[in-house]
Structure 1
Amino acid sequence: MKLLTYRIKHSGEDYRVGVLLDDMIYSVEGLKKYISDPLCKESLTGHPADFYRKLAHALPALEAALCSANPLDGISKENVEYGPVVTAPSKIICVGVNYMDHVKEMGHDVPKLPVLFSKFSNALIGHLDDIMGKEKSHQLDYEVELACVIGKTCMEVKESEALDYILGYTIANDISARDLQKRTSQWLQGKTLDRSTPIGPYIVTSDEILDPGQLKIRSFVNGECRQDSSTSQLIFNIPTLIAFISNLMTLEPGDIILTGTPHGVGFAKKPPQLLHSGDEVICEISGIGKLVNKVK
């Protein structure tokens, strides 16, 4: 199942949560009429801030409702604007230097433990939104990443159980302001500029991604392939990351983990190939789709 945040184009209305099926989007609120279980109905909401916090036990009912839905209830995806797949996560945890080739191109030592940093929800934008930040940075860089969305409260889990806590997977472009990032030993200021981090276009639920460690991952700038790798090259795989992070802090439904980027980032190329206004960046992961944005 593919979950997304959307609103009708040019409507100015609030974002709502929907489900994509055969290029048509069905609102969660509209699907509730096909659910008979009152507890599941009560748990489901189309409000993006609350949806993921209440979804866990109602997910099977939502899937069943989608199978029963009348196609006339759907909206063509061509008629919507996409929001970030989670609009207000309580935590956005990012993992740095987590592909071996990327470690080498950036001149870092191979980490013995996951390198963690954070973003905030002010940075998040949706599929087809404009990437902002050029007015604050002269060195914007692209980074395609597989992102995990937590589906239920996750605290001190074992690696063998970690995947059970993931609702699904999406694509993130961890846009990095390299000049700001490198000003100090702490990366935060270069990682969470307003409206700088695309995430989407939708969450593919974990039942459709049986092995997140075997996904093709690529990025393109103006049609030129810049990154081309596989999640099999992760230094710390997803179960390891979930176990490690959940032993530091409790992960909650809707929290997002960006798992790192492969080699090929613009900053490391000789000469550097950084982003300019008007550039189109496409991030692509097999089994999920394409995340498309332009730099403004």
Structure 2
Amino acid sequence: MAYWVRFKRAGAAEFGTLDDATISVHSGDMFGASQPTGETVSLAEVELLTPTVPTKIIALWNNFHALAAKLNSPVPADPLYLLKAGSSLTTPGATVRRPASYDGKVVYEGELGIVIGKTATNVSEEDAPTHILGYTCVNDITAADIINKDATFAQWVRAKSFDGFGPFGPVVATDVEPSTLVVRTVLNGDERQNYPISDMVFSPAQLVSRISHDMTLLPGDIICCGTSLGVGTMKAPENAVEIVIDGIGTLRNTFVQ
């Protein structure tokens, strides 16, 4: 297993593997031929970046049986998804601020993120895992009141694409068995979400395969697997949010009103 990170040092972006609090700096390409340079750097001495720079962020809706049952929604025959703007992405540890143009509910959504490692076009479910580099933690922040504000058009993309509404990281964990993972969301010290990835309607392999028949997936692209029970509003003036997935890590961000 490896934990890949991107970081900024002396104004330049670099990448490597993280072991406890030490980064082994690599050269080459995270998605191709890479090798350690022999140099190490302390995590405390650098600024973590988003672990990849995706060309697109795909976000699933209604992908967990438990939430579908609570909402009395039928289990979909095909993956239901939207795209988040690339400009919504922000780094681990960043402070996310309420948009000046919106005064309604803002909710957290702790999710597992699939990180594409190899270009995928029309791939089979059996071959899909070879196109996955690994997995990461995602907080799919949402301006909930916007979604159904206009009765003629559900505004999913606008609700989820404000600047800063796409924190992910801090690492990409490789050689992870996703069906064993559990997603937890902790808001201001209180656990609000705790759900198993094994409850997903569409597995990671199914998602990569089916979506790759709709659009080509490129190295670094993120598929946010959707969320389950426990989504809630961030109400405090300052909110500490942690997305915790044992086997991957903890994504920490702050949301301020």
The structure richer in helix per residue is 1
Distance 1:180 1:186 in 2: 6
Offset of residue 18 of structure 1: 2.7
Distance 1:22 1:294 in 2: 23
The structure richer in strand per residue is 2
The aligned length equals: 251
How has the CA–CA distance of structure 1 residues 275 and 83 changed in structure 2, closer, same or farther, with 3 Å as cutoff?
Answer: farther
The corresponding residue for 2:110 is 144
The corresponding residue for 1:40 is none
1:183-242 per-residue CA deviation (whole Å, 9 max, x = no partner) reads 23241110111122110001112x2x1x21120111010011100011001011111111
The corresponding residue for 2:239 is 279
1:87-111 per-residue CA deviation (whole Å, 9 max, x = no partner) reads 3x11211111111222234453322
SS at match of 1:264: coil
1:8-44 per-residue CA deviation (whole Å, 9 max, x = no partner) reads 4xx6x24332321231123324xxxxxxxxxxxxxx1
SS at match of 1:213: helix
Unaligned runs of 5+ in 2: none
> Structure 2 matches for 1:97-176, cutoff 5 A?
97-137=62-102, 138-176=104-142
The corresponding residue for 2:19 is 21
Distance 2:18 2:82 in 1: 32
1:130-169 per-residue CA deviation (whole Å, 9 max, x = no partner) reads 1233433321100111111111111111111111110111
TM-score normalized with structure 1 length: 0.80
Partner letter of residue 131 of structure 2?
A: Y
The sequence identity of aligned pairs, in percent, is 32
- Determine if contact 1:142/1:275 at 8 Å carries over to the other structure: no
SS at match of 1:15: strand
Offset of residue 126 of structure 1: 1.2
Distance 1:19 1:237 in 2: 27
SS at match of 2:130: helix
- The alignment status of 1:190 with 2:156, answered yes or no, reads no
How has the CA–CA distance of structure 1 residues 276 and 196 changed in structure 2, closer, same or farther, with 3 Å as cutoff?
Answer: farther
> Structure 2 matches for 1:1-296, cutoff 5 A?
1-8=2-9, 13-29=11-27, 44=28, 51-52=29-30, 55-56=31-32, 58-59=33-34, 62=35, 65=36, 69=38, 73-87=39-53, 89-137=54-102, 138-183=104-149, 184-205=153-174, 207=175, 209=176, 211-266=177-232, 273-296=233-256
SS at match of 2:214: coil
Offset of residue 121 of structure 1: 1.5
- Determine if contact 1:133/1:194 at 8 Å carries over to the other structure: no
Distance 1:256 1:108 in 2: 25
Q: Which moved more, 1:93-102 or 1:16-25?
A: 16-25
The runs of at least 4 aligned residues of structure 1 exceeding 4 Å deviation read none
Unaligned runs of 5+ in 1: 30-43, 45-50, 267-272
How has the CA–CA distance of structure 1 residues 105 and 177 changed in structure 2, closer, same or farther, with 3 Å as cutoff?
Answer: farther
The corresponding residue for 1:36 is none
Partner letter of residue 204 of structure 1?
A: A
Q: Say which one has the larger Rg.
A: 1
- Determine if contact 1:134/1:277 at 8 Å carries over to the other structure: no
